[in-house]
Structures are given as structure tokens and as C-alpha cells.
Amino acid sequence: MSHFRNPQIASKLMAMGIMPGSSIRMIRKAPFGGGCYIKVDNLLIALRESEALSIILK
């Protein structure tokens, strides 16, 4: 991960441990769309697409 696009979402995701430098893997999309199931280091996290889009990858 490189950086965040949206500071408000950044502050929340960072508290959960999603930081610049974390390794992020997209696992799957939600059954009805709109959501992503991602793995950040060893943490499994569900994000909305809009939230996921604020994470900029290297």
C-alpha cells in the first residue's frame, strides 16, 4: 500500500492497522456487489467499494 486518498477514511482504516507499507490482497467481492473482502497483512476486513478506492497501492 502507498497512501490514502481520503483523510477521513484514512484515520479510521489506520486505527485498524491498515498503513502505508501494509500488504493488501483483494480476495472477493460481496454477493450483491458493492463490497470487498480484503486481507491486510494477517487481518481479514470487509470494505465498501468507495472505502477500498481510497487506498492507493504501489
Partner 1 sequence: MGNPNSGKTSLFNQLTGLQQKVGNFPGVTVEKKVGKIKLTNEINIDLVDFPGTYSFYPTAADEKLVVQSIVDIDYPDYPQGFLYVADSTKLDKHLLLLTQIRDLGIPVVLALNMSDLADQGKVEIDTAKLSEKLGVPVVRVSSRTGSGVTELKELLLQMYRGALPMPKANSSFYRISPEESKLATALEADFPRHNNYQRILIGHHYEWLPFLDQERKASVAEKVEQTKFNSLQLQVRETMERFDHFTPIVRSVVTEPGSRSGLSEKLDNILTNKVFGPLIFFVLMLFIFQAIFLWAGYPMDMIEAIFGHATSLVKNVLPQGWLSGLIADGLLAGLGGILVFIPQIAILFFLISLLEEVGYMARAAFMFDRLMQVFGLNGRSVVALISGGACAIPAVMSTRTISNWKERLITILVTPFISCSARIPVYTALIAFAVPQKTYLGGVLNAQGLAFMGLYLLGIAAALLAALVFKWILRSTDSSFLMLELPEYRLPVMRNVGLTVWEKVKSFTLEAGKIILIISLVLWILSSYGPGQKMETARAEARQTAQVENLDETATADLIAARQIEASYAGHIGKFLEPAIEPLGFDWKIGIALVTSFAAREVFVGTMATIYSIGSQEDEFSIQQRMAKEVNPKTGEKVYNRATSWSLLLFYVFAMQCMSTLAVVKRETNSWKWPTIQFFFMTGLAYLSSLVVYQVLS
Site residues, partner 1 (CB under 8 A) = 7-17, 19, 27-35, 37, 39, 41-48, 51
CA–CA distances in Å: residue 43 to residues 32, 40, 46: 23, 5, 10
Minimal distance in Å, beta carbon 22 to partner 1? 10
Which residues have C-beta within 8 Å of that of residue 48, sequence separation ≥ 6?
34, 35, 36
Nearer to partner 1 by C-beta: 24 or 35? 35
Nearer to partner 1 by C-beta: 33 or 57? 33
Minimal distance in Å, beta carbon 52 to partner 1? 10
